[in-house]
Amino acid sequence: MLNQVVLTGHIGQDPETFFTSEGNPIAKFSIAFKGSKMKTSWIKVVCFGRLAELTEKHLHQGARVGILGTLDENKWETDEGVKKSNFQILCNSLEFIKTDGRGFENNGNDSQY
């Protein structure tokens, strides 16, 4: 089964970056997009490795990005035993559509990763 998501949207808040116990970077952020009936919807995006580093360096709240990735269901159970789930995009490719230019030393020519 093919699982590929292509989505553009604006980042809702500055990306959060953290590291695995092995020191590999992971960046998370949410993007807003127009869903059914032109209603604004939000979805979390997770970037790993080099994409996480670039996300931390270049992206910020309000930036417009294009995302290519796979849809993943995240499941967990609360302390009260309630089962919950949500969907997120595991990012494979990222395109900077509009940013404020921070972190670009070469006039923004490296806009796609």
- 103, pLDDT greater than 60: no
DSSP state letter for 37:
G
Select the more confidently predicted residue: 111 or 84.
84
What pLDDT is stored for residue 108 in this prediction? Answer: 47
Distant-in-sequence, close-in-space partners of 14: CB < 8 Å, separation ≥ 6 = 29, 59, 60, 61
Q: Could you give the CA distance from residue 17 to residue 103 in angstroms, rounded to a whole number?
A: 16
Kindly give the residue spans of alpha helices, DSSP state H, lying in 7-62: 49-58
- Could you tell me if residue 113 is inside a domain? no
Residue 68: how many other CB atoms lie within 10 Å: 14
Residue 17, in any domain of the structure? yes
How many domains, in total, are found in the chain? Answer: 1
List helix spans (H) across the chain: 49-58
Assess if residue 47 is contained within a domain: yes
Which pTM does this prediction carry? 0.81
Q: Give the residue, 107 or 67, on which the prediction is more confident.
A: 67
Domain residues for the domain of 31 are: 5-98
Computed on alpha carbons and rounded to an integer, the radius of gyration of the chain in Å comes to 15
13: CATH: 2.40.50.140
Q: Is residue 108 part of a domain?
A: no
What is the predicted pLDDT for the residue at 101? 62
| pLDDT reading at 96 higher than 60 | yes
> What pLDDT does residue 33 have?
86
Of 53, 7, 44, 5, which is closest to residue 26 (Cα–Cα)?
A: 53
